[in-house]
Amino acid sequence: MSFQDRKNEIICKVAILAERQPLLSSRLWFHNDIRDNFYYASYLFAAAVNEPDRLPFEPDAAKKTAAAVLLEVLQLQDQNPNSETYGHWPLNLEPSPRQAKPHVLPVELMGSLMAFFAANYKSHFDKYLTAAFDAALTHIYRSNFYRVPMHHFNHHEAKYTAAKLIFGQLFEDAELFEDGRSSLQRTLAHIQKQGMSEYGCLPWFWHWVQAFTCAWQMTDDASVNKTLGEMLDFLWNERAAFYLKGTWAGTHSRGLRHDIPLDGNVLHDYVQFGDFKLPEEMPRTEYAGFLYYAAPETARHTALNRNEPTEVKKTITKPAGADTIKLHSYAYITADFAAGGMWERHEEFDNEQHRWDFTFPLGRQAGINQAYFFHPSGAYSNDDPRHQSGHTEVLYHKNTIMALYPIPEDKPNQIVGVLPKTDWQQEQNVLLGQIGHVYCAVYLMQPYQVELLNDRCTVTSRGSRNGVVMEVMSDTAAARLGLNSFEAFAAEAKRNHPVWSSDESFSVQYTTLEQAKLRISIDRYGNPDKRINERPINFTGYSL
């Protein structure tokens, strides 16, 4: 199946969802987020135009429905030039879309995509939709929402940069277009030198890809297109480094519920790589069915050839007031699983740093595909296992992760584990399970309880000093050690417990099944010491 086939599959699948969605009294499908109305209507309109024979409904009627929703969305724009929110749309439309207050976010992402959609489908618009798009795009251009000084080189500024190029060309504004060119060059130079401070950040990474792919497909200037290609090559190489069959291995600076503990934002990956089945649930449709830039061969080779285990080590520069700090990301990726995280705790937005996990390919088991433990930063709920506190020390070594949790007395003395749903054997202070072709041993310092949910197992363990050691390996790797079945692996794992200490020094020592000697200790002043085979951890060999 080609990338075009996969794009068409997404377009038709979302179009069918849109056609089945009942219209509300507002003549929209959704009130929770205006953008979903625009995305669904775009897909329904495009499918009715391009793929009428593949639709299980009458395409002309569907096209009229899509046009009506698009018209309703466009009419919600603030088109008063004297307004502080000129050119903007509301985000949440409750209780009444016509009374909803404009918000800064929708135009940031939707604006460029509206220009793309109009450029590609305007010949199929009626006069009313043509006029509405022309007016909306003019107000976007005149609003100057994209004229924001560059400081952070984040996903917001990436979208502003793309918008400068798109609207500068669309309205023949040479000054704006040159501003976009300069911003693009500065952004590319920054991330090539400093790395992406928004590491593993979903869905915001896809906003980078969307914005610059949209600009690349729309911009006529050859030199700008070349730089956009360099930007997209960088982004896809970054993506491929942490890719395993639709998943994003390792640490995340931020993530939404549909990406933790289940990789759900997979449509761009599906179009680009296509090495996993398209899931039924598509929480972020956005414009993955419309936009495409062929990833460089280096990225495709990295992503699609995981036969040999690979260690991915990256240094990431984060702003810290007037200074910067260095963070160090680690991932160990095999054909059957990945492990990794960030060596340092960093305070990210809403405590969303996802410090470490084991990741399993999509579709290998029902339910979630990530395994990890954390100390919650606040009240914990089963349906949102994110928001981690900083009371964690970690050690990463290939297929093994160790974590200590020195929890202050004034904090909840509970750590939470999230594990894929399988038949976990519950032994004293160890859980043993098999996920696809992978054997797993999870050791806990303190007693634990397991709750079986529809799509996962949740583990809770109490104690102000607690810890976890998790070692996993494929059945073929286990067989090379003479462990020719899960039962043999489990028996060996039960003989191979870590050694915990919570006296003067809070520590754990563990010898892996492949005989690596790992140790973390925390002295009474809170200073950690981490060693692999008696050697202190260092970050030589880490790259940007």
Let me know if residue 318 belongs to a domain: no
Phi, psi of 448 (to 5 degrees): -140, 165
Please return the burial class of 321, using the count of CB atoms within 10 Å of its CB with bins 0-12, 13-18 and 19+.
exposed
Contact 359, 370 (CB under 8 A): yes
My answer on whether 133 and 213 are in the same domain is: no
Let me know if residue 133 belongs to a domain: yes
> How many separate domains does the chain show?
3
My answer on whether 114 and 165 are in the same domain is: no
Could you tell me what percent of the chain has a pLDDT over 90?
94
My answer on whether 110 and 170 are in the same domain is: no
Q: Which of 481, 463, 461, 465 is nearest to 473 (CA)?
A: 481
**Which of 145, 176, 200 is the C-terminal boundary of a domain?**
145
User: Residues near 466 by Cβ (< 8 Å), separated by ≥ 6?
Assistant: 404, 405, 407, 413, 415, 444, 445, 446
Please, which pLDDT band fits residue 296 given cuts at 50, 70 and 90?
very high
- Find the mean pLDDT for residues 305-322: 93
Please, which pLDDT band fits residue 91 given cuts at 50, 70 and 90?
very high
User: Any idea which of 213-217, 253-257, 377-381, 474-478 has the lowest mean pLDDT?
Assistant: 377-381
My answer on whether 2 and 120 are in the same domain is: yes
3-state secondary structure of 518: strand
> What pLDDT does residue 378 have?
84
Phi, psi of 239 (to 5 degrees): -60, -45
My answer on whether 139 and 167 are in the same domain is: no
- Find the mean pLDDT for residues 137-151: 96
> What pLDDT does residue 320 have?
83
- The helix or strand, by DSSP H or E, that contains position 358, with its residue range, turns out to be strand 356-359
My answer on whether 184 and 131 are in the same domain is: no
Please, which pLDDT band fits residue 284 given cuts at 50, 70 and 90?
confident
* Mean pLDDT over each residue of the chain, to the nearest integer: 96
Distance CA(247)–CA(286), nearest Å, equals 18
My answer on whether 522 and 373 are in the same domain is: yes
Cα distances (Å, whole numbers) of residue 10 to 114, 403, 443, 483, 506: 19, 40, 42, 43, 51
Let me know if residue 320 belongs to a domain: no
Domain range enclosing 376: 364-536
Let me know if residue 331 belongs to a domain: no
My answer on whether 240 and 117 are in the same domain is: no
Let me know if residue 324 belongs to a domain: no
Let me know if residue 136 belongs to a domain: yes
> What pLDDT does residue 381 have?
84
Taking the whole predicted model, whether its pTM rises above 0.95 is answered as: yes
Asked if the model's pLDDT at residue 366 lies above 90, the reply is: no
Asked if the model's pLDDT at residue 363 lies above 90, the reply is: no
pLDDT digits (tens, 9 = 90+) for 398-438: 999 999 999 999 999 999 999 999 999 999 999 999 999 99
Distance CA(248)–CA(492), nearest Å, equals 31
> What pLDDT does residue 529 have?
97
My answer on whether 383 and 475 are in the same domain is: yes
Cα distances (Å, whole numbers) of residue 527 to 84, 376, 403, 536: 50, 21, 14, 14
My answer on whether 112 and 170 are in the same domain is: no
My answer on whether 193 and 106 are in the same domain is: no
Please return the burial class of 41, using the count of CB atoms within 10 Å of its CB with bins 0-12, 13-18 and 19+.
buried
pLDDT digits (tens, 9 = 90+) for 157-213: 999 999 999 999 999 999 999 999 999 999 999 999 999 999 999 999 999 999 999
Contact 295, 274 (CB under 8 A): no
Handedness of CA 88, 128, 97, 14 (dihedral sign): negative
Contact 473, 436 (CB under 8 A): no
My answer on whether 83 and 123 are in the same domain is: yes
> What pLDDT does residue 23 have?
97
Let me know if residue 330 belongs to a domain: no
Amino acid (1-letter code) at residue 346:
H
Let me know if residue 543 belongs to a domain: no
Cα distances (Å, whole numbers) of residue 377 to 156, 251, 258, 449, 486: 27, 17, 20, 20, 36
**Which of 119, 145, 171 is the C-terminal boundary of a domain?**
145
Q: Give the pair of three-digit tokens for residue 313.
A: 């080590």
**Which of 310, 344, 373 is the C-terminal boundary of a domain?**
310
